[in-house]
Structure 1
Amino acid sequence: DDDNCFGKMVMGMIEKPPLAASGQAGKDFGVFRTQAANARLYHSITTLTPGAVNFVVFCPLHMCEFEPDLVLFVADIPQADVLMRATSYISGDLWQSTASCVLSCAWLFGHPYVSGKVNYTISGLGHGMRRRKVYPSGRMLISVPFAKLSEVIEALGQMDWELIAMKEDDESRAELRDRMDRWQEVSPDFVLKE
Structure 2
Amino acid sequence: MPFAEKNPWKILSENLVYENNWIALHHYQVINPSGNEGIYGKVHFKNIAVGVIPVDEEMNTYLVGQYRFTLQQYSWEIPEGGCPDKEQPQQTAQRELLEETGLKAGKWEYLGSAHLSNSVTDEIAELFVATQLQQFSASPEETEELQIKKVPLQQAFAMVENGTITDAVSIIALQKLQLLWMQGKWKP
Q: TM-score range by the shorter chain?
A: under 0.3
The alignment's TM-score, normalised by the length of structure 2, stands at 0.24
The alignment's TM-score, normalised by the length of structure 1, stands at 0.23
Greater Cα radius of gyration, structure 1 or 2: 1
Compare the two structures and name the one with the higher helix fraction: 1
